[in-house]
Amino acid sequence: MTMRRTMKARRALTAVAITTGLAIAVAGCGGGEKDGQTPPPSSPQPPAKGADRGTASQSAQPPAGDTVLAEVKGGDNITLTINSAIRDQGGFVTLNGKVKNGGAVLWSAPNWQGSEQELASNQSSLAGASLIDKKGKKKYLILRDTDGRCLCTKFANGIPAKQETIWFAQFPAPPAGTKKVDFQVGDMPPAAIEISDGE
């Protein structure tokens, strides 16, 4: 009887030791918390600059809204719509909109990349766009990265006939008191818009 009781006691102690060990192991793997602090939530990655932003697929860009700030029509039966112009706290203005090719052939923004030598590698893009502050008599060129790539949409494959696509472009922000500016690109007529403040 003594032998049998001893074996039972040993088995009970072994079971308790295993259970305790598992409990400690599970607690040690409890999601990376340390010293009672929860890990900070991972922050969203900002959009890549330069080529990544300029050559991003149209689906990666935020969809243009239904509001129409301005709409202009130019050669080749192209219609450019501006849906938003928002001033950011980072000191820049982001424009979003749509371009519609109403023509019968593929359109690739032949003269929208601008004539500056620095912008030569930005074909089929909005690199030549600018904001004109008539009151302040100042012209704001599109932002670009250190390699000269514009922070704007690049129409890599052009826009097929009768199709439209969304676009974006970023500029240095005019002074806080400046709300009304003209957007200009290529041979399109100037589009008068009003800048709104972001949240």
**How far is the C-alpha of 58 from the C-alpha of 173, rounded, in Å?**
24
At the topology level, CATH places domain 51-197 in: Immunoglobulin-like (2.60.40)
Closest Cα to residue 79, out of 169, 194, 162, 151?
Answer: 162
Q: What is the pLDDT of residues 149-179, one digit of tens each?
A: 899 999 988 999 999 999 999 999 999 899 9
- Domains of the chain, by residue range, sit at 1-33, 51-197
Q: What is the pLDDT of residues 23-73, one digit of tens each?
A: 444 444 444 444 443 334 333 333 443 334 443 333 334 445 579 999 999
CB 103 within 8 Å of CB 161? yes
Model pTM score = 0.67
Count Cα atoms within 13 angstroms, Cβ side, for 54: 24
What does DSSP assign to residue 25?
A: H
Give CA 66 to chain center in angstroms.
19
CB 149 within 8 Å of CB 157? no
